[in-house]
Amino acid sequence: METFLEILKTVLPALLVMITAWLVIRNMLRDDQDRRRQDLLLQTVKTVTPVRLQAYERLVLFLERISPESLIMRTARPDMTAQQLHSALLTNVRNEYEHNLSQQIYISNEAWELVKNARGTVVKMINGIASQLPPAATGEELSRLLLEEVMDLDTDPCRTAINYIKSETARILG
Tens digit of each residue's pLDDT (9 = 90 or more) over 129-173: 999 999 899 999 999 999 999 999 888 999 999 999 999 999 988
The answer to whether residue 122 scores a pLDDT higher than 90 is yes
Q: What is the DSSP letter of 42?
A: H
Please check whether residue 80 is in contact with residue 139, taking contact to mean a CB–CB distance below 8 angstroms. yes
Please check whether residue 133 is in contact with residue 82, taking contact to mean a CB–CB distance below 8 angstroms. yes
d(CA 120, CA 159): 14
Please check whether residue 128 is in contact with residue 167, taking contact to mean a CB–CB distance below 8 angstroms. no
The answer to whether residue 8 scores a pLDDT higher than 90 is no
Strand, helix or coil for residue 84 = helix
The answer to whether residue 1 scores a pLDDT higher than 90 is no
d(CA 94, CA 75): 13
What confidence tier does 111 reach under pLDDT thresholds 50, 70, 90? very high
Give the pLDDT of residue 107: 93
Please check whether residue 81 is in contact with residue 138, taking contact to mean a CB–CB distance below 8 angstroms. yes
The pTM of this model reads 0.76
